[in-house]
Amino acid sequence: MPLTDKFGRPITDLRLSITDRCNYKCVYCRTGNEGALYGDLPFEDYLRMARVLVGLGIQKVRLTGGEPLLRKGVVEFVQELEKLNPQNSDPLDLALTTNGHLLADLAQPLKDAGLNRVTVSMDAVDPDRFARITRVPGGYEHMLAGIRAARRAGLWPLKVNCVLMRGFNEDQIIPFGMFAREEGVIVRFIEFMPLEEDRTWSPTTVVTLDEILARMSEYRPLVEIPHARSETARRYRFDDGIGEIGIIAPVSHPFCGHCSRIRITSDGKIRTCLFSVWDHDLYGQMQRGASDEELAEFIRGVVMKKEARHHIGEPDFVPASRTMVHIGG
């Protein structure tokens, strides 16, 4: 029986955080004051969790963090994940989200180990602005080298995620359209969500899907591309067929009804929604000596508690019990 929640949503997509440390301090994410709060686990523990979840119907595993490339041994971990066999007998779809800072040297080894795809976070097409957002000087060249190395290694499709935050980078929309066309990458704009440590979010800081589309259309007309129901991004290509962009609009156009995701934090807790106000201690079950069958039963029970939707911007909104860096985006 595939993993399904009580609303009938099939759960096929695992986001696995392998550290909550990060070498960047992006304004929409970390305060810069705190590093790891929860710590991380040996890879063999994550591997066991992933194996049980793949046995339950997970088809995609995305490694995230914190910054996942800070973990020594990540290449060998990918090699082990690659050996897992999903129920549908297609190979496991293995992806990684990274800030790209350490990617230049790791792209080819990760590809050789079995990684299929990578998403690089990049919030400005300009070194100075990039440094203002990440609060780390000199990162732009490393990140760009990482993107180019990933493309050379065949980590494809290559996506670039840009969180737009009013007052910081909303003027970067058209430069990113040009970047997508020139570099042959898919640029995805993400609406800013209230998951940051600085607690600066308000509805007015969000640059919405409608605004992004209007601005980009001043540069070149866009044509919408049909997207899969469970895909988070609405997809568009430019009218001449060169360059693709995506918009992930959880605030203005929520897609919770099609959510297929489950998350495991770096300390081994299951989170059923980015905006969960509690988590479920999978690692605790392992420490108590649970068998794989018992872990599977625990996971099925947790998935049944998956939230119907988030409540961003509503009067009853309660902030998530962890910020993004400690969940794994």
Residue 216 interacting with ligand SAM (CB under 6 A):
no
Q: Which is nearer to ligand SAM, 3 or 270 (CB)?
A: 270
Least CB distance to ligand SAM at residue 209 (A): 13
Stretch 98-117: interaction string toward ligand SAM, x if CB under 6 A = xx------------------
Q: Using CB positions, name the residue nearest to ligand SAM.
A: 329
308: helix, strand or coil: coil
Which residue lies nearer to ligand SAM by CB, 18 or 299?
A: 18
**59 contributes a contact to ligand SAM by CB under 6 A:** no
Cβ burial, residue 289 (10 Å; 0-12/13-18/19+): exposed
Residue 329 sits in the site that holds ligand SAM (CB under 6 A):
yes
Parallel, antiparallel or unpaired: strands 244-248 and 233-238: antiparallel
Residues 254-273 vs ligand SAM: string with x where CB under 6 A? --------------------
Q: How many residues bind ligand SAM (CB under 6 A)?
A: 20
Min CB(310)–ligand SAM separation in Å: 12
Residue with smaller CB distance to ligand SAM, 232 or 285: 232
Question: What's the residue count for the chain?
Answer: 329
Angle at alpha carbon of residue 76, lines to 70 and 80, rounded to 5°: 125
User: Residue 63 CB, nearest distance to ligand SAM (Å)?
Assistant: 9
CB nearer to ligand SAM: pick between 12 and 161: 161
Residue 115 beta carbon to ligand SAM: minimum distance, rounded to whole angstroms? 14
173 vs 324, beta carbon nearer ligand SAM: 324
DSSP string, 182-204: HHT-EEEEEE--S--TT----GG
Nearer to ligand SAM among residue 58 and residue 325 (C-beta): 325
Q: What is the DSSP string of 106-166?
A: HHHHHHHHT--EEEEE---SSHHHHHHHH--TTHHHHHHHHHHHHHHHT--SEEEEEEEBT
Residues 120-159 binding ligand SAM (CB under 6 A) are: 121
Q: Is the peptide bond before 2 cis (omega within 30 degrees of 0)?
A: no
Yes or no: say if 242 and 183 are a contact pair by the CB < 8 Å rule.
no
Binding mask 163-202 for ligand SAM (x = CB under 6 A): x--------------------------x-xx-xx------
* Vertex 224: Cα angle to 220 and 226 (nearest 5): 160
Please tell me the distance from the alpha carbon of residue 29 to that of residue 135, in angstroms, as a whole number. Answer: 11
Q: Cβ closer to ligand SAM: 29 or 209?
A: 29
213 touching ligand SAM, by CB under 6 A: no
User: Which of 177, 329 has the CB closer to ligand SAM?
Assistant: 329
Angstrom distance (rounded) from CA 176 to CA 189: 9
Q: Say what the alpha-carbon torsion angle 305, 38, 285, 3 is, to the nearest 10 degrees.
A: 40
Q: Is residue 29 involved in binding ligand SAM (CB under 6 A)?
A: yes
Which of 16, 22, 160, 173 is the binder for ligand SAM (CB under 6 A)? 22
Question: How far apart (Å, rounded) are the C-alpha atoms in residues 79 and 109?
Answer: 10
Supply angle C-alpha 328, 157, 210, rounded to 5: 70
Residues contributing to the site for ligand SAM (CB under 6 A): 22, 28-29, 64-65, 67, 97-99, 121, 161, 163, 190, 192-193, 195-196, 324-325, 329
